[in-house]
Structure 1
Amino acid sequence: MSLRKIFYRLLRVFGVTLLNKPQTDAFLEPYLIRLSPPIDVFLPNVFNQSVTPTRMFQRQNATTFPAYVWRCTGPSQTIRQLAYGGVLFDRHLLCVDFDNYHLVKNFLTPPKRDQVQRTSVIVPFTHHLDGVILGGYYDFVILVAAKLCRIKEAMGADFAEAVVSYPHFKTAYERDFLELIGFTPDRIFDSRRTEIQFEQCLMGNSGHWFYPHPDDIMALKKQVEGKLNITQTQRNRIYVSRSGRRRIANEDALIKLLKKYDFQIIDDRPRTVAEQVSIYKNASYIIGPHGASFTNIIWCEPGTHLFELFSSKYIVDHFFYLSQLMGINYTAYHHVIQFGQVHHDVEEDIFVSIADIEKILEQTFLPLPSFD
């Protein structure tokens, strides 16, 4: 018997029914207060910008999931939030994000928690953060911050008194976003440390991981840009570097080439959300390896160009999708050279042909004059 099946049986021993996403949607239907129906977003063909222009992304209609907001009420004996974010409602363990298997963690090693009482709690995320596949900047912005903006819009004036509780990502950008969305520090709780007894609980579902609902993205954009009030004053060409996984293996040569075409080099270091918004708001052309920083294209002006560099093993289209939502031009590139086995394809470094990239830049820009 698999470990997963053993865990499921243990839950049944405790009288808990573990729901999957469709079952959770059906269970929570009486508590629905907002629904954004699924929509199709057209994605055209994208061809590799190399000497062998193979198709990287095939033309399709990317279909989003519906975006829900639920308001659940009941005494603390029937509805409560568990340590790792999961919500137990009338002995049903709800799955509002992705696979429900990780929710079993709530019962295996539950930490000791302080208890506080609040009227309304917002539960924006209930998923285990593994730090490899899930737990980075893109995940927080799309799956937590954007969902919080959806819930805020659905709550109206009631939002001002609500607290937020979930397993924290423990990053500076998380604190920045929560403040921009409207949470003061006294209204922010880590569910692993504090158990909140509440009268009502607000939740939303996570949609498609790669194709978030446009309503969520626009709600986040409106909220953040409205608070920061950053306007475009420049039209910069930028190269976004990466210092961790998926680095450009021959980056020194690439940077030397890009400087000939007046590109600014954006090094990989911590920045405030305001700084990141400003960088992308003032960009006209962006090039760099596939990475979470490109989540920031949602701040770009329409007509900006994103040129995304991939490894040969890990080619995904979520920033292509976001570029289509935001009216951004898009091209992509990968080379056949690989760097051997890695634990996850998502971690493999990227090689680019300098000759390939130079040919593309020559067709787009004039190089700076040389004074050598």
Structure 2
Amino acid sequence: MISKLLKKIWIRCFTGNPYQIKSFTDLYRPKTGEAIDRPESLTGILLHEAGQPIAYDLPLITYNQTVPRQTVGKKPRFKTNGVFKEPHRYLYSVSEGTVWCAIGLVYDSQRRCFIDESAKEWTVDLSDSALTNVVHFPQKTYLDGTTLSCLTNGADGGFYHFLFESIVKIHFAMPLMRHVDHILFNGPATDWKLKWLQRANVDTSKIIWATNTAHYECEQLLFTGRLVNDQQINPWSIDALKALFNITPTEQPAPCKIIWISRKGAASRDIVWERPLLEHFPSIETIDLSGLSAIETIEKMQSATHIIAPHGAGLSNIYLCNKGTHILELFPDGMLFKPCFYRLSSVCQLKHHVAWLNFEDEHDSKKGLAFLKTLLNDFVCQN
């Protein structure tokens, strides 16, 4: 504790670095009686939309155990059900604003202050974060013109975070996109990011792929707060993605179409006995989404009546499914329940099923091959 306090004092007194954290409206509150004749500023709130209520009331169909819940302290991390609130959506602008690190933390170097709405850490408060207690920053790169930050936690390698928390910022900022000269996305530039950015007609020549030590000072910096709270998928984000990707609704397909989304080779998400299982179900189509184009992914999801997949990135695509599609999410044994895909199903009016498996041992009598064969015989008959 003493060392942290001494470091904070050193930063404040012996560096020119930011040392405070304030909300945007507190930091840029107009001075009382301020004169009209003063230099213009690009700082302000450019867009604002009110968040709406969200209800997650879809029945969660479980098969083989009580749902294991995460706790923080003695309290459940996630509520079982209830009515939540979408975050209010703001597009902020800062003259000569600086954006720092992969989560997109914004600060004003003149006021030596971080902006609270710009970013949050996963598990620590910003005041205790190493990112807000920096003695030696990496050298800045100056970006002229207007820069939009789409940076957020986990979007470097997480498809869910890229899709629902990062690229949706393009949709929110769409009224001003023709004025944007640079767009910051979490690097690296991967095929799966590029194919969806191209589907959204984003000018990829404007993209700067930010690293963990990214440090940019911008003539004009645009950024948002969180548009989707952690694991609280909301209807606005679904509508935003469908608009960006030009998704047109289709009729529910008449014939039964069962799709297995394979995660073969993915650490902790690979069911090693996947092949012998699927040999028992030749009618199930196996797909690897990493090898599909955006339009192929859309068509596959829209054609399905049943989707089966290990918990992970592939299930992010179920927002493309028709209403009433059955989803079976398979958790590895011992993993705590994460509600993101169940809530996605709830918002999209899908039917969500969950089960826990021993991904390593097909001979596990309770969570192995025999169990899943029996489960699938039941699941594929759901209509």
TM-score for both structures, normalised by structure 1? 0.76
Aligned to 2:53: 39
Quick one: distance in 2 between partners of 1:81 and 1:34? 21
Moved more, 205-214 or 5-14: 5-14
Residues of 1 paired with 2:298 and 2:10: CA distance?
47
For residues 302 and 160 of structure 1, the distance between their equivalents in structure 2, rounded to whole angstroms, comes to: 35
Structure 1, gaps ≥5 residues long:
341-350, 367-372
Measure the CA separation in 2 of the matches of 1:105 and 1:143: 25
2:231 matched to 1:213? Answer: no
| Secondary structure, counterpart of 1:164 in structure 2 | strand
Which segment drifts farther, 288-297 or 98-107? 98-107
Residues 159 and 46 (structure 1 numbering): CA distance in 2 closer, same or farther, change over 3 Å?
same
1:170 aligns with 2:189: yes
| 2:147 aligned to which of 121, 124, 144 | 121
Report the CA distance between 1:195 and its aligned residue: 3.8
Describe the SS at the equivalent of 2:372: helix
Quickly say closer, same or farther: Cα 1:195–1:140, change in 2 above 3 A: same
Matches within 5 A, 1:74-223: 74=95, 76=96, 79-82=97-100, 84=102, 85-89=104-108, 90-95=111-116, 96-99=118-121, 100=126, 101=129, 103-104=131-132, 108=136, 110-111=138-139, 113=141, 115-118=142-145, 120-127=146-153, 135-152=157-174, 156=175, 158-162=176-180, 163-191=182-210, 195=216, 197-199=218-220, 201-223=222-244
**2:32 is matched with which residue?**
none
Deviations 1:262-314 (A, max 9, x none): 10011364433333222212211011211111000111111111001112322
Q: CA–CA distance in 2 between the matches of 1:296 and 1:218?
A: 14
* Matched residues, number: 334
Task: Tell me, in whole angstroms, the C-alpha distance in 2 between the residues paired with 1:62 and 1:312.
Answer: 30
**Structure 1 233/37 Cα, relative in aligned 2: closer, same or farther at 3 Å?**
closer
Per the alignment, do residues 292 and 200 of structure 1 end up closer, same or farther by CA in structure 2, a change over 3 Å counting? closer
Mapped to 1, the partners of 2:230 and 2:151 lie a distance apart of 13
Residues 121-161 of structure 1: per-residue CA shift (max 9 Å, x gap): 2112254x5x9xx7311111111012322232xxx2x3212
Return closer, same or farther for 1:167/1:102 CA change in 2, 3 Å cut-off.
farther
- What is the CA–CA distance in structure 2 between the aligned matches of 1:365 and 1:191, rounded to whole Å? 43
Q: Which runs of 5+ in 2 are unaligned?
A: 30-43, 70-78
Q: CA deviation at 1:18?
A: 4.1
Q: 1:316 corresponds to which residue?
A: 338
The one-letter amino acid of 1:237's match is I
Aligned counterpart for 1:67 among listed residues 78, 85, 88: 88
Quick check: 1:12 aligned with 2:40?
no
Cα 1:339–1:263 shift into 2, 3 Å: closer
Q: Which residue matches 1:348?
A: none
Q: Percent identity?
A: 17
The alpha-carbon distance between structure 1 residues 169 and 150, as it changes in their structure 2 partners (threshold 3 A), is farther
1:43, distance to aligned residue in structure 2 (A): 3.1
> Which one has the bigger helix percentage?
1
- Classify the secondary structure of the residue corresponding to 2:120: coil
User: 1:69, 1:151 within 8 Å by CA — same for their partners in 2?
Assistant: no
Deviates more, 1:140-149 or 1:353-362: 353-362
